Structure 1
Amino acid sequence: MRENMGATRVAIIGAGPAGLFLSRLLGRAWPGAEIDVYERSDPGGAGGFGIALSDRTMRQLAGHDPLVADRIGRVARPLSGVELRLPGGRLRYDGFPVVTVSRGAVLAVLTEEARAAGARVHHGRQARADELDADVVVLADGARSVHRTARAAAFGTTVHTGAARYIWLGTTADLGDAATMFFVPTEHGPMAAHAYSCGGGLSTVVVELDDGTWRRAGLDAAHRAGGAPGEIGPAGLALLDDVFAGHLGAGLVSNRSRWSRFDVVTNRRWSDGNRVLIGDAAHTAHFTVASGTTMALADAMALAGALREHDTVTAAFDAYERDRRPAVARVQRLAGPSMRWWETYGRRMHLPPAQFGMHFITRTTAVSHLGLRRRCPTRIAEAETVYRRAAGVDPDAPARHAVAEPFTARGSRLPHRLVGVGASASGPSGGDGPRLVPAGWLEPSPGGPRPVDGGWAAGAPGRLLAPGPHALRFVALAAPDPVAEDDALREVAALRRRGVDGVLLLPGRAGWWDRLVEFGGRIRTEAGLVVAGCVPMDWSTDLCRDPAVDAWPGRIHLALVSARLDLVAQWPRRAADLAPPHAPDEAG
């Protein structure tokens, strides 16, 4: 479908950022093409408040369409950091630049420029994909696309619905140059809001609650009263005003705002015949990683390029999907832990502010220990001080690796956080050091065979041998898949009721370290058990030359200081013999 195909007919369902920008790019590339965008809402009728775009996205946008990038840039507002406001104080993390802008302003710019490029944008028009006479039909109608749902089997659609309740609201308050997160304990339960100022519009406030808090506060009343599903009423808005207005500095505003639970959308295929998915219709990632509009614009750029460069629709769709799927998979992989963190933030609000903040800022693997030291060294130092103080060490003592600090649990005192695995003749640092021993272990005879991997397997019970009144009881576990995490936590809670003191989290398939650390953090803060995470036996000599990825010493230090692990178990295998600690970008 090269540039000389002037009779090309493209129908786009959905006038969000993805559909509008695609129509603009195709209109510029094919002046003779018939490009129609169908939007069921009236002009200006789309909901929402502000959106965030990274510096990288703005550079990519400028490379493809300098005019659009300039117009959006003129009405956007730059933010330079993240600020947490907690009952115990404020914490600011700089070095995370984005620009924020009113969603309405972005749609207005894209609509005008799409029409200037020759696209016809039809607002208030409900299109039916089966009735459109077009060479290419683009489904850009959002996460709950009815057209994609109608062909869910062909696309291989999977939708996982999150547990938390959230709602997009606005405020006239100016929140400065940081995205600000408010965490407020209330009589109903913990409440939180993500808030940021936007260029050319109201500031955005996203309130997020666990389901129990939402119900105890009576915010499900609209369902009971027979109103519009999820739409917040005056009483609900007044309740949230009471909680947040004093922190924000102004009241909250609703724009037909509705309570929702986030849908994580994946599709096995992004095209079917002459139909192709784009933006949220193809994939979603939780809004706490500021990715929705970014991915939508990137999809539009990739699909427009593929349609220009290939002779057939099938070849263009295949190229578009090959181009975009790895990047989308990476964003979804990072967004999953962020979504689960926000679903459970209330269970960590007892942590000291510095440690809570470190838990928050490291909720995904997108930020390395090296990156944090470069961006916000003071915040790292504060968390390390809290960590040393909790270990009973003078906080003014010279800083050292977190593994070197002592650990006490159930009356047992360990001189450091590194333990051996299996009944080896000596501990990990020489001598008769602390070690995790599986139940029923028999010391191998000299020169005889010994069980692999220290004798531990998922479900195996054992003991932590260390100085103290008794050996701590442990059970080995493999970190579950995210969708099974809540069930696994209930099983961990049952272990505690049976007198188990801790868990040993085992290595596994690709990405095992990320899953291990995330699950370990939830066990520590929600179940209260001691958590030992396995690491390769040669972790201390790991030399990682990628500045964006931590070597093993950095990974381990961050996991301990951020309150995700208590102990590090030295697994009897080298790093090269284990699956990669970070998951590859997979199709999904």
Structure 2
Amino acid sequence: MGATRVAIIGAGPAGLFLSRLLGQTWPGARIDVYERSEPGGTAGFGIALSDRTMRQLAARDSLVADRIGRLARPLSGVELRMPGGRLRYDGFPVVAVSRGAVLAVLTEEARAVGVRVHHGHDARADELDADLVVLADGARSTHRTARAAAFGTTVRTGAARYIWLGTTADVGDAATMFFVPTEHGPMAAHAYSCGGGLSTVVVELDDGTWRRAGLDVACRADGAPGEIGAAGLALLDDVFAGQLGAGLVSNRSRWSRFDVVTNRRWSDGNRVLIGDAAHTAHFAVASGTTMALADAMALAGALREHDTVTAAFDAYERERRPAVARVQRLAGPSMRWWETYGRRMHLPPAQFGMHFITRTTAISYHGLRRRCPTRIAEAEAAYRRTDGADPDAPARHAVAEPFTARGSRLPHRLVGVGASAPGSSGAGADVPCLVPAARLEPLPGGPRQGGGEWAAGTQGRLLAPGPYPLRFVALAAPDPAADDDALREVAALRRRGVDGVLLLPGRAGWWDRIVEFGGRVRTEVGVVVAGCVPMDWSTDLCRDPAVDAWPTRIHLALVSARLDLVAQWPRRATELAPPEAPDELG
């Protein structure tokens, strides 16, 4: 198609890059970008872009990619700093660059192809004379909200409080995460150096810590809602400045809670959503700008290749939805991990680090071993030490390690579910040949599930050597939004004398949910967690290095302190909904 009038609301990366691409495609078109902020008035500090994003950007617009690349700072890994020490995970390359510098480049290059960029202009979509109106005005888009029913907008607000700040400190060549216990509660910061300008520091706190520290108090009468004042900045300086090596800087920085935005449709008539206005993913997976640039490339391509706005919008959405859904699927567990990090800071550093680096399924176990083998080996040794095994003994599959709880001791971590649970045949040198060390037996009269003797709510016992049988209750891992309620229920069960929970298989994605929820139960409530696996888990030896086979999934869940026991469910893997395969980002 050949639109002659294009209006783009929002001069962020999505809107500006789209305007440049459309200016290249339609040299004679009138393309206007409207931004309510004045030039240079955008808040924020740095953004991170993966190597993959930079390659895609170079393939589409080598000039813009080259200019951004020359301004950027390469980072090669992630470093965790906590009271117990430092852990570095290399093999996660990104480039970090000042957000202001990126916007300046994109503005210049958009104007170079004839785009008119209007700063300080709060445009009204209904008043614009345009063939095509692009809503690129961010996660809290007022124009999208005005048509929320048409777009099918859903916004879920996260629990944690966060704020973007800066520092003059050079944090080094790694994205660095600081975890600090304070008198108010646990505090954490994500920090990374950018190419030129201030380094970025994102402080993230749970709501209780935020309130106890007095950071919920309004800073001044003329300040924007949530804007941090001198007292709040000084408090955070006391916590982090010594670790960073310099003080913190505010740029009209405000406390916020992250909004997870989804839309059932990305277009309505001649209006279309891109970037954060269409979808968001928590900043901990560093994908916001990546998705914005990818949206711009896809929409520009669809408009170039189709004859009508409707056909172009449909093609754009078909292309981008799967990738966006994938990122949002990975970002959800990461966001929930950051909302609750303080509840697992008691873990040994190596296991805390393993818990952090595996908070999503973005990277397979083999990918982790390839990128940071020393860190993974340390976590496996720390796992073996928890039950008195020799940490210097040859490494073996985590399920083969002994387990002790409430006076009961098992020679390994595999248990049966019901009297007829089959044994493990074992296949391959890395997979142990085990017969269940004990049996989980339901008590008479409880609910039953087809194909097994356990269903949600079933009570039973772990028949293991010890002073008394351990009491278990079967649960289905809840939807993420119901995690806190479910955790309170587990805590109540513990007070009533229940020793552990059996997490049951279920709908698609059940394994990832078991592992995530099990990790929270184990570290926050302190009961024993047994996760169900297929009866033929040991023979599912997928050799695709990008996909974790069942033995590897189980090993990772145990080593990362998310499960204690593996319960062999009396169904084969092909009879259960498959888990979602790891999908590496970057």
Q: Does TM, normalized by the shorter one, top 0.5? A: yes
Does residue 408 of structure 1 match 2:412?
no
Q: Secondary structure at the match of 2:452?
A: helix
Kindly tell me: are residues 426 and 511 of structure 1, through their superposed partners in 2, closer, same or farther at Cα, counting changes over 3 Å? closer
Q: Is 2:137 the counterpart of 1:133?
A: no
**What is the match of residue 475 of structure 1?**
473
Aligned identity (percent) is 88
1:97 aligns with 2:101: no
1:203-226 deviation per Cα after TM superposition (whole angstroms, max 9, x unaligned): 000000000000000011117968
Q: Deviations over 1:147-170 (max 9, x none)?
A: 000000000000000000000000
The farther-off stretch of 381-390 and 20-29 is 381-390
Matches within 5 A, 1:187-206: 187-206=183-202
1:163 corresponds to which of 156, 159, 171:
159
Q: What stretches of structure 1 of length at least 5 have no aligned partner?
A: 443-449
CA deviation vs aligned residue, 1:358-393 (integer Å, no higher than 9, x gap) = 000000000111011111111011111111111111
Larger mean CA deviation between 453-462 and 15-24 belongs to: 453-462
Instruction: State whether residues 427 and 433 of structure 1, in contact with CA within 8 Å, keep that contact through their aligned partners in structure 2.
Output: no
Look up the SS of the partner of 1:311 in the other structure.
Answer: coil
TM-score for the superposition, normalised by structure 1: 0.96
Written as runs of structure 1 = structure 2, the 5 A alignment for 1:345-384 is: 345-384=341-380
Alignment of 1:33 with 2:17, yes or no, is no
Could you say what secondary structure the match of 1:453 adopts? coil
| Distance in 2, Cα, partners of 1:226 & 1:537 | 64
CA drift at 1:9: 1.0
Q: Tell me, what secondary structure is at the counterpart of 1:112?
A: helix
Closer/same/farther in 2, CA of residues 58 and 426 from structure 1, 3 Å limit: closer
1:85 aligns to what SS in structure 2?
A: strand
Across the aligned residues of Structure 1 and Structure 2, the Cα RMSD in angstroms comes to 1.6
Q: CA deviation at 1:424?
A: 1.9
Question: Is 1:553 the counterpart of 2:551 in the alignment?
Answer: yes
- Residues 532 and 566 in structure 2, CA contact (< 8 A), matched pair in contact too: yes
1:189 positional shift: 0.4
Taking the aligned partners of 1:74 and 1:17, their CA distance within structure 2 comes to 17
2:484, 2:35 → 1: CA distance?
Answer: 39
Mapped contact 1:489–1:527 kept (Cα < 8 A) = yes
Is 1:566 the equivalent of 2:564?
Answer: yes
Measured at CA, do residues 576 and 224 of structure 1 come closer, stay the same or move farther in structure 2, by a change above 3 Å? farther
Matched residue pairs, number? 574
Note the C-alpha offset of 1:555. Answer: 0.7
1:439 aligns with one of 427, 435, 443: 443
Distance (whole Å) between structure 1 residues aligned to residue 129 and residue 110 of structure 2: 20
The one-character-per-residue Cα deviations of 1:284-312 (angstroms, maximum 9, x if unpaired) are 00000000000000000000000000001
Q: Give the aligned partner of residue 109 of structure 1.
A: 105
Which secondary structure state, in structure 2, belongs to the residue aligned with residue 222 of structure 1? coil
Structure 2 residue 498 is matched with structure 1 residue 494: no
Between the aligned partners of 2:581 and 2:142, the Cα distance in structure 1 is 32
For 2:258, the equivalent position in structure 1 comes to 262
The residue type paired with residue 560 of structure 1 is: L
Contact 1:137 1:274 in 2 (8 A): yes
1:463 aligns with 2:461: yes
1:332-347 alignment runs, 5 A limit: 332-347=328-343
Which stretch of the first structure deviates more once superposed, 190-199 or 460-469?
460-469
Contact between 1:511 and 1:584, CA under 8 Å: does it hold in 2? no
Q: In structure 2, what residue type is equivalent to 1:213?
A: T
Cα distance in 1, alignment partners of residues 562 and 26 from structure 2: 53
Partners of 2:440 and 2:260 in 1: CA distance? 39
On the 8 A contact 1:441/1:455 being kept in 2, the answer is no
8 Å contact from structure 1 (residues 419, 427) kept in 2: no
State yes or no: 1:540 paired with 2:538.
Answer: yes
Partner of residue 447, structure 1:
none
**Displacement after TM superposition at 1:441 (Å):** 7.5
Q: Report the CA distance between 1:576 and its aligned residue.
A: 1.0
Contact 1:8 1:34 survives alignment (8 Å): yes
SS at match of 1:500: coil
For residues 211 and 14 of structure 1, do their structure 2 counterparts lie closer, same or farther at Cα, with a shift above 3 Å needed? same
Amino acid at match of 1:519: F
Partner of 1:485: 483
* Helix, strand or coil at the partner of 1:221: coil
Counterpart for residue 528 of structure 1: 526
CA shift, 1:227, in A, is 4.2
Looking at structure 2, the residues matched to 15 and 452 of structure 1 have their Cα atoms a distance apart, in angstroms, of 55
- The answer to whether the 8 A contact 2:60-2:297 is kept is yes
Q: Which residue of 2 aligns with 1:517?
A: 515
Contact 2:412 2:437 in 1 (8 A): no
Return the letter of the residue paired with 1:189: G
Cα pair 1:426 1:433 within 8 Å, conserved: no
Match of 2:573 in 1: 575
- 1:545 CA drift (Å): 3.3
- In the alignment, the residues of structure 2 paired with residue 102 and residue 389 of structure 1 have an alpha-carbon distance, to the nearest angstrom, of 44
User: Secondary structure of 2:396's partner?
Assistant: coil
Shift of 1:454: 2.7
CA distance in 2, matches of 1:557, 1:282: 37
SS in 2 for 1:74: helix
Is 1:146 aligned to residue 150 of structure 2?
no
Q: Deviations over 1:102-133 (max 9, x none)?
A: 00000000000000011110000010001111
Contact preservation (8 Å) 1:174, 1:197? yes
Once residues 81 and 244 of structure 2 are traced to their aligned partners in structure 1, the CA distance between those partners, rounded to angstroms, is 10
Q: Which amino acid aligns with 2:118?
A: H
- Residue 8 of structure 1 deviates from its aligned partner by 1.9
The alpha-carbon distance between structure 1 residues 389 and 433, as it changes in their structure 2 partners (threshold 3 A), is: closer
How far does residue 431 in structure 1 lie from its aligned partner after superposition?
A: 6.5
Q: 1:115 to 1:464 in 2, by over 3 A?
A: same
What CA deviation, in whole Å up to 9, does each residue of 1:513-554 have, x standing for no partner? 111100000000101010000111111111223321111111
Secondary structure in 2 aligned to 1:486? helix
| Residues 169, 244 of structure 2: 8 Å contact kept | yes
In structure 2, give the amino acid aligned to 1:410.
Answer: R
Q: Which residue of 1 aligns with 2:429?
A: none
**Any idea what the Cα deviations from partners look like across 1:161-193, whole Å, max 9, x if unmatched?**
000000000000001110000000000000000
Q: Decide whether the 8 Å contact of 1:510 with 1:584 is kept in 2.
A: no
Partners of 2:335 and 2:38 in 1: how far apart?
32
Offset from partner CA, 1:56-89 (integer Å, 9 cap, x none) = 0000000100000000000001000000001010
- Residue by residue, what CA displacement relative to the aligned partner does 1:238-274 show, whole Å, maximum 9, x if unpaired? 0000000000000000000000000000000000000
Instruction: Describe how 1:173-322 pairs up with structure 2 within 5 A.
Output: 173-222=169-218, 227-322=223-318
Change (3 A) 1:55 1:451: closer
- State the distance in 2 between where 1:13 and 1:484 align: 36
Change over 3 Å in CA distance of 1:425–1:517 after alignment to 2: closer
In structure 2, what is the Cα distance between the partners aligned to 1:297 and 1:271?
18
* Cα offset, 1:228, TM superposition: 2.5
8 Å CA contact retained: 1:80, 1:95: yes
Q: Partner of 2:190: helix, strand, or coil?
A: strand
Partner residue of 2:9 out of 13, 19, 26: 13
